[in-house]
């Protein structure tokens, strides 16, 4: 029973729809029942890319149209059956997804959305130019069922229903797996996902390939239902808009969104088109436009989420769940993963060098943000990087973990030069990172945030949950593990980012201003956690402004000024250095601490 429970809603929906379709005898309404499911399926395909990753596609008609024309042309020129052509269209859709995704994923947000718009428009003109203005599928009088042609229109509805159920199940599998978590992490913060070891390009390509394959299959089926295909009806703006509108109206990022949106908007626009289409041509476009305006004003993420929020407020017990207890259960059952040898090693640090930076430089236009920086970090030690605002500390970090590529220089992690690697590749070899401006996955729970960081080291979901649980315990956040990240205090967010980095079992942790925004007491608590991690053998490089906390924490300092290393050495020597006092600490520090430091 427990195994069936997540699918009860879709089983009930399919049963009710099938029963409804049995009693609808009017062929026009029967067609509408089928079209509702076709557009719901198309919306579901759009949702797999855009709903889960947040990369809005205005160009899903490319896949839909390719599918429709594959069926139409395959039937016309090669006398092939749609039973064969639909899977072929799906393969074409998947391949075109990768071909479109590879160049277009270089772009972000609205640039991505707008460039996706170009593909169906370009393909539309190609098909017109090829002379395929209107392609009709040949009618089969004999053996019609083998060509997916049926006298009883209800069979199309049932086929469409089977298609929706299949796509909902695929979406559910994606949602509940590492795939879905990766896409959600990308949606909430792509840079943090990449730094947590997620190969963002690969997951996005997988999402667009699956999304494109499904959209093409839906388009191929649409051609079978309507029997006529024109470039405008399958590649037109309204087609892409339809996927977007039904999903945005119903609810983004949930399987129910496209189904709800389609069930409301398609009959509405079809009936108005039938009644008023002659007097008001293009009335469907008006309906979809109005739907978008209403959604933006009333329920920006769609009516599913609005209704869910309402129910959650009214009957909170229906939604009570404990992800952390799941994690704790996973910990009780899963075998403990092998600790990395580096983590077993205890301080004090040896002369073994884990990170070696050689002649690193980076300029932005004429500004030399990092100039010929070199330093070594011994395994098990804590290195502090300090310097005034704009000294190049964050840029140096971005060069170390692959967000930026240096103009010159080397970054050797355990002797391997990682210059040119991507952040997730650097994370894979054991370099974790937190950010100066915190980058939580705001709508995920603390536990889920940390699970995302564990995937880089875990072979299975259970192991990821086990590692996440360990990391949460190490930073002392078990009491808020089920809380949504957006509800955390600054200190908790800092610790959660630490846990997310720790879950990937790094041997080297780069902490970017982990104490920023904390009160004195809170900063001490976080310093204690960092010190404990170092005692467990994790090597730490930390950027900080808070000199007082740093002096007590670090083994060595690198002081940057104007992008170059001003001084390097042990805390006592560095804080007494006249150049450091002049460039960074100022005369006041010298007066207050000079004696103490001596
Ligand atoms: N992407 C960028 N494009 C142009 N200039 C940049 C870029 N990133 C950083 N800079 C400039 O490079 C210099 C070093 O910046 P960086 O953020 O590394 O300093 P920082 O020491 O971390 O400063 P803060 O303590 O204020 O964060 C600054 O002058 C900054 O304006």
Residue nearest atom 30 of ligand 1, based on CA coordinates: 390
| Residue bearing the CA closest to ligand 1, atom 23 | 390
Per DSSP (E only), the strands in 256-381 are 353-364, 367-378
Residue 595 has pLDDT above 70, yes or no: no
pLDDT digits (tens, 9 = 90+) for 518-551: 887 888 888 889 988 988 889 999 988 766 778 8
Of 272 and 11, the one with more pLDDT: 11
Compute CA distances 583 → 1, 52, 59, 286, 386, whole Å: 69, 48, 54, 63, 11
pLDDT confidence tier of residue 327, bands split at 50, 70 and 90 = very low
Nearest CA to ligand 1 atom 28: 390
Q: How confident is the model at residue 390 (pLDDT cuts 50, 70, 90)?
A: confident
pLDDT at 571 exceeding the cut of 90: no
The pLDDT tens digits of the residues spanning 144-186 come to: 999 999 999 999 999 999 999 999 999 999 988 889 889 988 8
Going by C-alpha positions, the residue among 57, 442, 416 that lies closest to residue 252 is 57
Could you tell which of 392, 510, 561 is best to mutate to test the pocket of ligand 1, judged by most ligand atoms within 8 Å of the CB? 392
Mutate to test the pocket of ligand 1, among 360, 390, 565 (most ligand atoms within 8 A of CB): 390
| Ligand 1 neighbourhood includes 392 CB (under 6 angstroms) | yes
Ligand 1 pocket test, candidate residues 367, 373, 516, 565, most atoms within 8 A of CB: 367
Answer whether 592's CB lies under 8 Å from 571's CB.
no
Which residue's CA lies nearest to atom 2 of ligand 1?
A: 364
CA of 370 to the centre of ligand 1 (A): 9
Helix, strand and coil percent figures for the chain, each rounded to 5: 60, 10, 25
The alpha carbon of 311 and the centre of ligand 1 are apart by a number of angstroms equal to: 46
Cα(163) to ligand 1 centroid in Å equals: 52
SS3 360: strand
CB 122 within 8 Å of CB 240:
no
Tell me the whole-structure pTM to 2 decimals: 0.79
Q: Whose CA is nearest to atom 5 of ligand 1?
A: 364
Q: Is the pLDDT of residue 598 over 70?
A: no
Q: What percent of the chain has pLDDT over 90?
A: 49
**Confidence (pLDDT) at 3:** 66
Pocket mutation for ligand 1, best pick of 393, 400, 550 (most atoms within 8 Å of C-beta): 393
Pick the residue whose CA is nearest to atom 3 on ligand 1. Answer: 364
pLDDT in tens, 55-75: 999 999 999 999 999 999 999
| Rounded Cα gap, residues 247 and 15, in angstroms | 22
pLDDT tens, position by position, 95-121: 999 999 999 999 988 899 989 999 999
> What's the 396 CA to ligand 1 centre distance in angstroms?
9
Backbone angles phi, psi at 525, to 5 degrees: -65, -45
Burial class (CB in 10 A: 0-12, 13-18, 19+), 273: middle
Give yes or no for residue 362 CB within 6 A of ligand 1: no
Which domains does the chain carry?
5-232 (1.10.3470.10), 353-594 (3.40.50.300)
Q: 262 CB under 6 A from ligand 1?
A: no
Residue 294: predicted pLDDT: 83
Pairwise pLDDT comparison (575 vs 430), residue with the higher score: 430
Contact 184, 444 (CB under 8 A): yes
Residues 6+ apart with CB under 8 A from 103: none
pLDDT classification of 9: cutoffs 50, 70, 90: confident
Whether 398 lines ligand 1, by a CB cut-off of 6 Å, is no
Question: Mean pLDDT, to the nearest integer, of 33-49?
Answer: 95
Give the confidence band of 334 by pLDDT, cuts at 50, 70, 90: very low
Residues 195, 84: contact at Cβ < 8 Å?
no
Query: How many Cα atoms occupy the beta-carbon half-sphere of 593 within 13 Å?
Result: 19
Lowest mean pLDDT among 93-102, 255-264, 329-338: 329-338
Span 582-591, pLDDT tens digits: 766 666 666 6
Q: Is 393 in the pocket of ligand 1 (CB under 6 A)?
A: yes
State mean pLDDT over 426-437: 88
Task: Tell me the average pLDDT of the chain.
Answer: 86
Rounded average pLDDT over 441-450? 83
Between 565 and 439, name the one with better pLDDT. Answer: 565
Distance of CA 160 from the midpoint of ligand 1 (Å):
55
Beta carbons within 8 Å of 332's beta carbon, 6+ residues apart = none
Compute the distance from residue 192 Cα to the ligand 1 centre, in Å.
19
Q: What is the 368 CA–ligand 1 centroid distance (Å)?
A: 10
């Amino acid at each position: 029973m427990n195994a069936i429970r997540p699918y009860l809603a879709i089983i009930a929906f399919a049963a009710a729809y099938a029963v409804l379709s049995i009693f609808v005898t009017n062929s026009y309404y029967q067609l509408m029942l089928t079209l509702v499911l076709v557009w719901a399926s198309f919306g579901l395909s759009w949702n797999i890319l855009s709903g889960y990753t947040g990369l809005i596609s205005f160009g899903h008609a490319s896949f839909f149209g390719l599918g429709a024309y594959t069926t139409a042309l395959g039937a016309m020129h090669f006398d092939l059956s749609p039973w064969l052509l639909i899977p072929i269209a799906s393969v074409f859709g998947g391949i075109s997804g990768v071909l479109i995704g590879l160049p277009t994923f270089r772009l972000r947000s609205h640039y991505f959305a707008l460039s996706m718009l170009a593909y169906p428009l370009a393909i539309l003109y190609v098909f017109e130019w090829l002379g395929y203005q209107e392609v009709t599928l040949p009618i089969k009088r004999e053996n019609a069922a083998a060509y997916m042609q049926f006298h009883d229109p209800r069979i199309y509805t049932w086929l469409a229903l089977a298609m929706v159920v299949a796509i909902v199940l695929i979406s559910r599998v994606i949602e509940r797996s590492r795939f879905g978590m990766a896409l959600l992490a990308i949606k909430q913060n792509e840079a943090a996902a990449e730094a947590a070891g997620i190969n963002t390009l690969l997951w996005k390509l997988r999402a667009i390939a699956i999304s494109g394959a499904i959209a093409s299959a839906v388009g191929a089926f649409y051609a079978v239902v309507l029997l006529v295909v024109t470039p405008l009806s399958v590649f037109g703006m309204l087609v892409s808009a339809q996927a977007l509108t039904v999903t945005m109206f119903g609810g983004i990022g949930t399987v129910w969104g496209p189904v709800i949106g389609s069930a409301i908007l398609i009959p509405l626009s079809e009936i108005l088109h039938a009644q008023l289409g002659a007097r008001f041509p293009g009335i469907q476009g008006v309906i979809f436009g109005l739907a978008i305006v209403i959604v933006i004003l009333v329920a920006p993420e769609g009516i599913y989420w609005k209704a869910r929020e309402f129910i959650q407020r009214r009957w909170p017990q229906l939604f009570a769940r404990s992800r952390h207890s799941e994690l704790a259960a996973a910990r009780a059952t899963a075998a403990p993963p092998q600790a990395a040898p580096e983590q077993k090693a205890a301080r004090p640090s040896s002369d073994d060098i884990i990170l070696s930076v050689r002649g690193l430089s980076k300029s932005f236009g004429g500004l030399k943000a990092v100039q010929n920086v070199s330093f070594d970090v011994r395994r098990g030690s804590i290195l502090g990087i300090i310097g005034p605002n704009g000294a190049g500390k964050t840029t140096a970090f971005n060069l170390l973990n692959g967000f930026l590529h240096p103009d010159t220089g080397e970054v050797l992690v355990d002797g391997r030069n990682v210059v040119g690697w991507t952040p997730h590749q650097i994370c894979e070899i054991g370099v974790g990172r937190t950010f100066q401006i915190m980058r939580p996955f705001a709508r995920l729970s603390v536990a889920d945030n940390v699970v995302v960081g564990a995937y880089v080291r875990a072979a299975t979901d259970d192991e990821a949950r086990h590692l996440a649980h360990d990391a949460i315990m190490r930073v002392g956040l078990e009491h808020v593990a089920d809380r949504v990240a957006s509800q955390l205090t600054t200190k908790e967010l800092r610790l959660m980012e630490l846990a997310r980095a720790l879950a990937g079992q790094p041997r080297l942790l780069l902490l970017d201003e982990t104490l920023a925004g904390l009160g004195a007491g809170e900063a001490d608590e976080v310093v204690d956690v960092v010190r404990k991690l170092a005692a467990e053998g994790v090597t730490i490089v930390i950027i900080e402004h808070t000199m007082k906390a740093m002096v007590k924490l670090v083994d060595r300092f690198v002081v940057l000024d104007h992008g170059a290393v001003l001084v390097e050495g042990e805390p006592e020597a560095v804080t007494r250095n006249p150049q450091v006092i002049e460039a960074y600490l100022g005369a006041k520090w010298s007066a207050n601490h000079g004696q103490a430091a001596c």
